[in-house]
């Protein structure tokens, strides 16, 4: 059993309330709202909607999301002279505001879009603070910041790292501003959560980063003591009407931190101001808490800053613990009697020892964090996750050549599998009711999950889903923005908006399989599959049931060549991905998959760590990093005595971000069904990701 405490040693926050801790606390004391009509960019409506903008932000040459993240990181890192061991950020927007402006100007130069990807935000922060370890991006819609903090906590508790800079960030953009308006979820008067006259949310922006450590600082701000993650597995955008997933997340957070409902002094409600969301959360609260403690939503003050909200509210919870300040439910005039809750109408001062903070998002993604006064409660006992890998129960893949059988047949004959499988072939095994409004990205993911489950031959349905994607739902994003321009910003598609979030596909998988556990989508560019695998290894306990680990990307005729530097204009578009149905349980004769290394920057020590006796190396060298990747491959081979053969698999699969997931399926297929072309004496295969990140995954027979 492990009893490691996770301390908050540094904190940075920017929101519509202010650009640091002091300004935020003062605004909370005054019960002041930061919501006002949009000024950041021009709109063609009669009058701008109320939003929550960050003001007085020092401009940089980087996109706004990156600038917000760096500003919060500077505050959080001011107490630490040493680089963090890892950076884990939640975001949904990445560089899209800049992308929208470039698209409107007709820009066709891919260099202008180099910061579009979600992964570039974490990478920018990691480079700024010389972090050579993991630089991970979590994208689970409005729970992203809280999920990023949860993942950081699990890594710290397992002893993988000592310090992690984690949190969330999002900027306002046309996609989110008009997207939520298209869903009729925006309150024209400004958000007033839990009020009887509430009509919706106010879209906001901001960032909050927390420096977490297992080395007790001289003056810890608080502790991150527990977390609970769940998925409604109910609807792409609407919450479960009884708040089932919200209840489960809060329950698990308390259980994780080994505290009772009586220990909680304050609940920071998710409370967006939408009628259904507030009602569902109130039902969950009343189910869990016989007598709820003081509670409030701060979104009537900060707006709903999407991926940043969970981290901003964790920062506000830390301020509450430090200052003894319970924030008011800003905007609340008369509580809706149907909710049977009474949020704070005015800020209140009292000692605060423990706070429960809720964050819920599209795709049914729920996260609850437990923050406590430093060293007041005993460290909760945890069983550290095993570090020796995951056992494969079933597998699937999709390439331009077809599904598993066709793709493997081509790859094992060194034939190219590039191109794109038809939508009809992708969807052939899927229930019609589940895919009626879905486009390519989600259909690919659903087909992969369904086929991997079928391939396992078991009835052990997955509870947890860990998905990677480099670029997410390109079709929905493109179609939303295109229609927005063509209709003079009047009639964007709400269906495309809901489907545009990176975690939309994982949410659809959860619905299909009723998977109500952790549901985490990672976005790491060419290393998204490896991020999903690392996340699964960190999050799955030894007692966890089966899970899906997969990575998916779609090729898009307009966006792919602009966003992905490895795709040349004249090259044939390729897409697809791979999926594994797997478990922590060790099963003799099955293939085990284990992450050996994931480093934002490669070092000589990394290559020594990777070295071993392998029968084959599957090397993934993205075209944009070919020279750097080839040198890394040479350095890696120099550390190996047996010098195994190398297959540069992207030459066969084509260039797309989730190609490594296809290569991983190939590794498992070879170990399960030996082929004369690749004799396997040691029964070990190494999957290498090379270029601007170094990652290594081993495959072997148990």
DSSP 680-696: -SS-EEEEEE-SSSEEE
pLDDT over 90 at 632, yes or no:
yes
Nearest CA among 179, 581, 140, 235 for reference residue 434: 235
Q: How confident is the model at residue 386 (pLDDT cuts 50, 70, 90)?
A: low
pLDDT over 70 at 385, yes or no:
no
Give the span between the Cα atoms of 369 and 321, in whole angstroms.
Answer: 14
Q: How confident is the model at residue 611 (pLDDT cuts 50, 70, 90)?
A: confident
pLDDT over 90 at 574, yes or no:
yes
Give the span between the Cα atoms of 294 and 177, in whole angstroms.
Answer: 32
Q: Domain 390-588+654-673: give its CATH code.
A: 3.40.47.10
Percent of all residues in the chain with a pLDDT value above 70, rounded to a whole number = 99
3-state secondary structure of 485: helix
Over residues 471-475, mean pLDDT: 98
Angle between helices 119-128 and 64-76 (to 10 degrees): 40
For the segment 333-380, what is each residue's pLDDT rounded down to a tens digit?
999 999 999 999 999 999 999 999 999 998 889 999 999 999 999 988
DSSP 8-class letter at 693? S
Q: How confident is the model at residue 544 (pLDDT cuts 50, 70, 90)?
A: confident
Confidence (pLDDT) at 603:
76
Give the span between the Cα atoms of 286 and 230, in whole angstroms.
Answer: 18
By residue count, the chain amounts to 702
pLDDT over 70 at 137, yes or no:
yes
Nearest CA among 385, 377, 89, 90 for reference residue 254: 377
Backbone angles phi, psi at 380, to 5 degrees: -65, 140
For the segment 399-440, what is each residue's pLDDT rounded down to a tens digit?
999 999 999 999 999 999 999 999 999 999 999 888 989 999
| 659, 687 contact by CB (below 8 A) | no
Q: State the chain's mean pLDDT as an integer.
A: 95
The CATH number of domain 7-372, selected from 3.40.47.10, 3.40.50.1370, 3.30.70.20, 3.40.50.300: 3.40.47.10
Q: How confident is the model at residue 396 (pLDDT cuts 50, 70, 90)?
A: very high
Give the span between the Cα atoms of 346 and 658, in whole angstroms.
Answer: 50
Over residues 659-667, mean pLDDT: 98
| 324, 28 contact by CB (below 8 A) | no
C-alpha separations of 398 from 368, 426, 455, 521 in Å: 35, 8, 14, 19
Give the span between the Cα atoms of 442 and 38, in whole angstroms.
Answer: 32
Give the span between the Cα atoms of 148 and 87, in whole angstroms.
Answer: 9
For the segment 492-536, what is each residue's pLDDT rounded down to a tens digit?
999 999 999 999 999 999 999 999 999 999 999 999 999 999 999
For the segment 143-161, what is each residue's pLDDT rounded down to a tens digit?
999 999 999 999 999 999 9
Range with lowest mean pLDDT among 536-540, 677-681, 687-691? 677-681
Strand ranges (E), 405-471: 464-468
C-alpha separations of 105 from 100, 109, 177 in Å: 9, 11, 19
Q: How confident is the model at residue 52 (pLDDT cuts 50, 70, 90)?
A: very high
pLDDT over 90 at 46, yes or no:
no
Query: Is this model's pTM higher than 0.95 or not?
Result: yes
Domain boundaries, the chain: 7-372, 390-588+654-673
Over residues 299-315, mean pLDDT: 97
Task: Report the sign of the C-alpha dihedral through residues 285, 289, 291, 292, in that order.
Answer: negative
Strand ranges (E), 4-114: 7-14, 36-37, 50-51, 86-90
Name which residue leads in pLDDT, 647 or 460: 647
Nearest CA among 485, 489, 10 for reference residue 213: 10
Tokens of 442: 């989600």
Q: How confident is the model at residue 383 (pLDDT cuts 50, 70, 90)?
A: low
For the segment 243-298, what is each residue's pLDDT rounded down to a tens digit?
999 999 999 999 999 999 999 999 999 999 999 999 999 999 999 999 999 999 99
Tokens of 24: 């935020």
Over residues 386-394, mean pLDDT: 84
Confidence (pLDDT) at 387:
59
Tokens of 269: 């409600």
């Amino acid at each position: 059993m492990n009893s490691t405490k996770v301390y908050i040693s540094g904190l940075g926050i920017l929101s519509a309330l202010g650009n640091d801790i002091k300004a935020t606390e003062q605004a909370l004391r005054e019960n002041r709202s930061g919501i006002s009509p949009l000024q950041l960019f021009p709109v063609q409506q009669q009058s701008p909607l109320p939003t929550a903008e960050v003001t007085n932000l020092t401009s940089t040459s980087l996109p706004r999301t990156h600038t917000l993240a760096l500003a919060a990181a500077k505050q959080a890192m001011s107490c630490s002279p040493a680089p963090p061991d890892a950076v884990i950020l939640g975001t949904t927007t990445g560089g899209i505001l800049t992308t929208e402006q470039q698209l409107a100007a007709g820009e066709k130069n891919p260099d202008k879009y180099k910061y579009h990807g979600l992964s570039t935000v974490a990478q920018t922060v990691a480079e700024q603070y010389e972090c050579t370890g993991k630089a991970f991006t979590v994208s689970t819609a409005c729970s992203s910041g809280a999920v990023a903090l949860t993942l950081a906590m699990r890594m710290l508790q397992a002893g993988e790292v000592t310090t992690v800079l984690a949190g969330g960030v999002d900027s306002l953009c046309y996609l989110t501003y008009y997207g939520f308006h298209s869903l009729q979820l925006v309150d024209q008067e400004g958000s007033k959560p839990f009020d009887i006259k509430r009509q919706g949310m106010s879209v906001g922006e901001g960032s909050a980063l927390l420096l977490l450590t297992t080395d007790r600082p001289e003056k810890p701000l608080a502790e991150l003591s527990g977390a609970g993650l769940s998925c409604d597995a109910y609807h792409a955008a609407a919450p479960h009407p009884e708040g089932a997933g919200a209840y489960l997340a809060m329950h698990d957070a308390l259980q994780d931190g080994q505290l009772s409902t009586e220990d909680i002094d304050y609940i920071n409600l998710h409370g967006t101001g939408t009628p259904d969301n507030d009602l569902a959360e109130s039902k969950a609260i009343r189910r869990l808490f016989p007598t709820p403690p003081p509670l409030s939503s701060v979104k009537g003050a900060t707006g709903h800053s999407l991926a940043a909200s969970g981290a901003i509210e964790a920062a506000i919870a830390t301020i509450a613990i430090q200052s003894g300040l319970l924030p008011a439910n800003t905007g609340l005039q008369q509580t809706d009697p149907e909710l049977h809750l009474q949020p704070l109408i005015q800020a209140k001062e009292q000692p605060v020892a423990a706070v429960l903070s809720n964050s819920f998002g599209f795709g049914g993604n729920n996260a609850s964090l437990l923050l406590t006064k430093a060293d007041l409660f005993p460290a909760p006992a945890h069983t550290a996750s095993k570090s020796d890998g995951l056992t494969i129960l079933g597998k699937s893949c999709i390439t331009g050549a077809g599904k598993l059988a066709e793709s493997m047949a081509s790859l094992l004959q060194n034939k190219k599998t590039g191109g794109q499988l038809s939508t009809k072939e992708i969807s052939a095994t899927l229930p019609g009711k589940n895919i009626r409004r879905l486009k390519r990205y989600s259909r690919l993911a659903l087909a992969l999950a369904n086929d991997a489950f079928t391939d396992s031959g078991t009835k052990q349905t997955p509870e947890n889903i860990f998905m990677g994607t480099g670029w997410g739902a390109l079709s929905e994003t493109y179609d939303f923005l295109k229609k927005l321009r063509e209709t003079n910003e009047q009639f964007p598609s709400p269906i495309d908006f809901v489907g545009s979030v990176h975690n939309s596909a994982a949410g659809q998988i959860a619905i299909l399989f009723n998977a109500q556990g952790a549901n985490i989508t990672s976005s790491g560019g060419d290393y998204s599959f490896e991020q999903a695998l690392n996340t699964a290894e960190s999050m799955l306990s030894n007692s966890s049931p089966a899970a899906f680990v997969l990575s998916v990307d779609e090729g898009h005729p307009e966006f792919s060549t602009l966003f992905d530097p490895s795709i040349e204009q004249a090259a044939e578009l390729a897409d697809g991905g791979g999926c594994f149905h797997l478990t922590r349980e060790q099963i003799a004769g099955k293939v085990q998959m284990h992450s050996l290394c994931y480093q934002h920057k490669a070092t000589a020590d990394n290559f020594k760590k990777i070295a071993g006796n392998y029968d084959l190396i599957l090397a993934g060298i993205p075209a944009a990093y070919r020279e750097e990747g080839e040198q890394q491959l040479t350095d890696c081979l120099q550390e190996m005595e047996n010098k195994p053969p190398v297959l540069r698999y992207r030459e066969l699969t084509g260039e797309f971000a989730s190609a490594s997931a296809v290569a991983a399926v190939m590794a498992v297929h070879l170990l399960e069904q030996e082929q004369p072309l690749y004799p396997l004496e040691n029964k070990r295969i190494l999957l290498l990701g090379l270029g601007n990140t170094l990652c290594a995954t081993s495959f072997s027979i148990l």
